[in-house]
Amino acid sequence: MLFMVGLDSLSRDEKLALLAQVNAINSRNVLYEGAQEGLKKGKDFVFKASAFLMGRFSSRWADRIKGVNEQLDWDVNTVQRAIEREYRRLNDLDEPDLMRHLLVRMAQIGGVDPTASKAAISEAVVRRAAGAWKIPVSEEMEAVEAAVYTRCLEERIAQVKEQVNQMTDSQLKELEAVMQEQIQSLSQAEQEAVRAAMGLEELSAEHMLRFLKQTSSIALAQMILSGFGFGAYLFLTTLIKSLSLLLGLTVSFGVYTAATSALAFLLSSPFLLIAGLISFGLTYQKAGNALNDELAKLLILVGRSAFLQLGSAPRP
């Protein structure tokens, strides 16, 4: 499986970042975060209503109620804290041990014995992701893997397009500012690769957002899979990174700072999934199945993307 070649090629820090995330994203953490968010929303609603009613009699009492509400706030980011704990716990492992732990977790996601061969585990992950996409597995597994990766790319691009399209004018201006900083952080060669792949006369956040809005998810995915792969891939990951920074979807204390920007902010995308699962109020078992589907897709997305970069640009 080519995604497995890509995962093997990741640096130690990238493997550590990936393993910390796939370990921490589980049914217990996701459902607990959902419960905490629900409780916090209920608390905020009660205090807001109380402040409104008391404000009709005394602004001083309304201010006191708001102050009490703020004092009773708590951190609901269960998954984010769990990722940070996993990162610290795994940080002493060397690269071979990290890879062994990752294979064990992949076996759990794929639903096979952890002692199975690497080939069997990687095939199980592909089968799981294919099932999530309802892609038939009667063909050669390499073709199934390629089809899964294409669908994963299209999904990730569609998510980005939807987020951008829902932004207000002021939010778009904020995004442009963040994107411009990210563009400047790219090397000259990387900037030129993005400009050439997108066919832009000038590489700027404004032009990149305009291109995103005018290009379909399918067309952009095909560009990444084509000869313009590296530049188009940088285009996508720069957008994802900028959105992640703007929306606060990154893990604190620099968990992903040692990883390449491309990998690091592909890893932030499951936080969107978590929000979706919480909103549906899934049961423990259903949440576990849905999470394993998404984690299988994430492994293939990260692995195949890393594989694509092997032949496109030097990796650290």
Inside any domain, residue 316? no
pLDDT of residue 177: 94
Residue 145 belongs to what domain range?
A: 2-310
For the cut 90, the answer to whether the pLDDT of residue 267 exceeds it is no
SS (H, E, C) 42-56: HHHHHHHHHHHHHHC
pLDDT of residue 94: 95
Instruction: Report the Cα 243 to chain-centroid distance in Å.
Output: 11
pLDDT of residue 76: 38
User: CA-to-CA distance for 69 and 239, rounded, in angstroms?
Assistant: 36
pLDDT of residue 33: 43
Instruction: Report the Cα 7 to chain-centroid distance in Å.
Output: 16
* Percent of the chain residues past pLDDT 70, beyond the cut: 66
Inside any domain, residue 32? yes
User: CA-to-CA distance for 169 and 209, rounded, in angstroms?
Assistant: 13
Inside any domain, residue 69? yes
What's the whole-model pTM score?
0.72
pLDDT of residue 150: 92
Inside any domain, residue 53? yes
User: CA-to-CA distance for 23 and 29, rounded, in angstroms?
Assistant: 10
pLDDT tens digits for 29-62? 444 444 444 434 443 444 355 444 445 555 654 4
Inside any domain, residue 209? yes
Question: How close are the terminal C-alpha atoms of the chain, in Å?
Answer: 23
Inside any domain, residue 96? yes
Inside any domain, residue 315? no
pLDDT of residue 287: 54
For the cut 70, the answer to whether the pLDDT of residue 3 exceeds it is yes
Sign of CA dihedral 137, 143, 145, 148: negative
Torsion angle in degrees (nearest 10) through CA of 72, 78, 81, 83: -170
For the cut 50, the answer to whether the pLDDT of residue 179 exceeds it is yes
Residue with tokens 């008391």: 54
Q: Is 203 helix (H, G, I), strand (E, B) or coil?
A: coil
pLDDT tens digits for 202-215? 899 999 999 999 99
Average pLDDT over residues 291-303: 86
Inside any domain, residue 204? yes
pLDDT tens digits for 61-111? 445 545 544 444 434 356 667 778 888 899 999 999 999 999 999 999 999
For the cut 70, the answer to whether the pLDDT of residue 117 exceeds it is yes
Average pLDDT over residues 169-179: 92
- Taking alpha carbons only, the member of 301, 264, 265 closest to residue 126 is 301
Residues contacting 210, CB < 8 A, separation 6+: none
Torsion angle in degrees (nearest 10) through CA of 163, 165, 167, 170: 130
Total number of domains in the chain? 1
